[in-house]
């Protein structure tokens, strides 16, 4: 049994209503419950956390350091493009993490092309819509069993 943590950053609480042509119609609650079920199906546990506030995300990642987590799956949203604090928190936690972006950030505005997390992530999943979360969980589970 392994423990995983799913973290979603600013504005992802609006999935389903926010720019549906980019992010689709699935809500964050749908994503979280599907991922929890998928993890449970393999005998694992997945905890979920969302915040619009950078400091709350940093605090949750700091807590994660002591929680025997196999991996964090994180969609940092816009903070991926701006936040050295999030990068430092993830590095400081010592927990491997997978970065997810629903949209293909490389086909969008140039300010979305850089992420402060990608070079220190175990892997990055970009542009597969909300299916990217399932792909990340699947990779995280495989990684945990190695
Ligand atoms: C996003 C991409 C970011 O550029 C954007 O700020 C988001 C969502 C994505 O999942 O595609 O809020 O992380």
pLDDT tens digit string along 108-138? 999 999 999 999 999 999 999 999 999 999 9
Residues 6+ apart with CB under 8 A from 18: 11
User: What global pTM score does this model have?
Assistant: 0.97
- Mutate which of 78, 79, 121, 131 for ligand 1? The one with the most ligand atoms within 8 Å of its CB, which is 78
β-pair partners for 125: 100
d(CA 22, CA 130): 11
Cβ(101)–Cβ(125) under 8 Å?
yes
Summarize pLDDT for 86-111 with one digit per residue, the tens.
999 999 999 999 999 999 999 999 99
Q: How far is the CA of 73 from the centre of ligand 1 (A)?
A: 14
Asked whether the beta carbons of 144 and 5 are under 8 A apart, the reply is no
């Amino acid at each position: 049994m392994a423990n995983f943590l799913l973290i979603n950053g600013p504005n992802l609480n609006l999935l389903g209503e926010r720019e549906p042509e980019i992010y689709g119609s699935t809500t964050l609650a749908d994503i979280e419950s599907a991922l929890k079920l998928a993890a449970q199906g393999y005998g694992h546990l997945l905890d979920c956390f969302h915040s619009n506030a950078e400091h709350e995300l940093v605090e949750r990642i700091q807590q994660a350091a002591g929680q025997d987590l196999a991996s964090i799956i994180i969609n940092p949203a816009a903070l991926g493009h701006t936040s050295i604090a999030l990068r430092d928190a993830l590095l400081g936690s010592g927990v491997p993490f997978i970065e997810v972006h629903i949209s293909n950030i490389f086909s969008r505005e140039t300010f979305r092309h850089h992420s402060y997390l990608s070079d220190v992530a175990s892997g990055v999943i970009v542009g597969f819509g909300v299916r990217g979360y399932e792909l990340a969980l699947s990779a995280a589970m495989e990684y945990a069993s190695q």
